[in-house]
Amino acid sequence: MDDLKTTYDKIAVDWQKDHEEDTWWVEGTDKFASLMPPQGSVLDVGCGAGVKAEYLAKKGLQVTGIDFSEKMIELASRRVPSGKFSVMDMKNMTELRNDFDGVFAQAVLLHVPKKEVMDVLRALTKKLRPGGHLYVAVKEMRLGDREEGIVTENDYGYEYSRFFSYFTPEELRNNLEGLGMNICYESVTSSGKRSWLQIIGRA
């Protein structure tokens, strides 16, 4: 099985087309954007092909995007010329010197094993300016379902596998509150096979 980075390099173009029309994220992303100062700085973690970076940039925000997939960064840079994009793993952001008004982590923690989640969240919050906001979106864990595991799909005409972890709303809230954040937005939105959890915390 390919590692996650290799998988996303392979599926990047198909993945972008597949998710172009998604709307589940709009309400939470609008809320996050409304909490930013004018021309505020946002770190888009696991920015993928730049769909959300473009959306945030159109709201007047200064977007920096990171992703460990070279192909995704290539697509994002082409899509959002005003953004700053770098190939970088969110588990190793030591090269990133700046702090931000907001950190936007949509559909990225779901690829992190549960035992590592708090360490990743802690690293993300360290990139926030005082009073800054962290947005997180993950897939909801269904009743009786496993917490994490490998999922193999072939909906693009070829087979690929990815690791996923799933969360309950309480678990996600506890994670952010455990880092001393004040919760200012939560939602559960159905989309496709699963519901998405969105949460915003203030540092």
Tokens of 174: 């506890």
In whole numbers, what is the pLDDT of the chain averaged over residues?
93
Confidence of residue 1 (pLDDT cuts 50, 70, 90): low
User: Mean pLDDT over residues 70-74, rounded?
Assistant: 95
Per-residue pLDDT at 21: 82
pLDDT at 16: 81
pTM: 0.94
pLDDT score, position 2: 67
- pLDDT higher than threshold 80 for residue 193: no
* Beta strand pairing call for 100-106 and 128-139: parallel
Domain segments of the chain as ranges: 4-202
Q: Are 96 and 89 in contact (CB under 8 A)?
A: no
Q: Which CATH architecture has domain 4-202?
A: 3-Layer(aba) Sandwich (3.40)
104 pLDDT band, cuts 50/70/90, is very high
Among residues 174, 51, 157, 145, the alpha carbon closest in space to that of 107 is found at 51
* Mean pLDDT, rounded, for 38-49: 97
- What is the pLDDT at residue 93? 84
Q: Is the pLDDT at 201 greater than 90, yes or no?
A: yes
Beta strands in the chain (DSSP E): 41-45, 62-67, 84-87, 100-106, 128-139, 148-153, 160-165, 182-191, 194-202
What is the structure's pLDDT at 157? 87
**Strand pairing partners for 67?**
87
Tokens standing for residue 9: 């390099």
Residue with tokens 């994490």: 148
pLDDT above 70: percentage of residues in the chain? 99
At 12 the pLDDT is 85
**By C-alpha distance, which of 137, 145, 133 is closest to 22?**
137
pLDDT of residue 202: 98
Give the pLDDT score at 61.
98
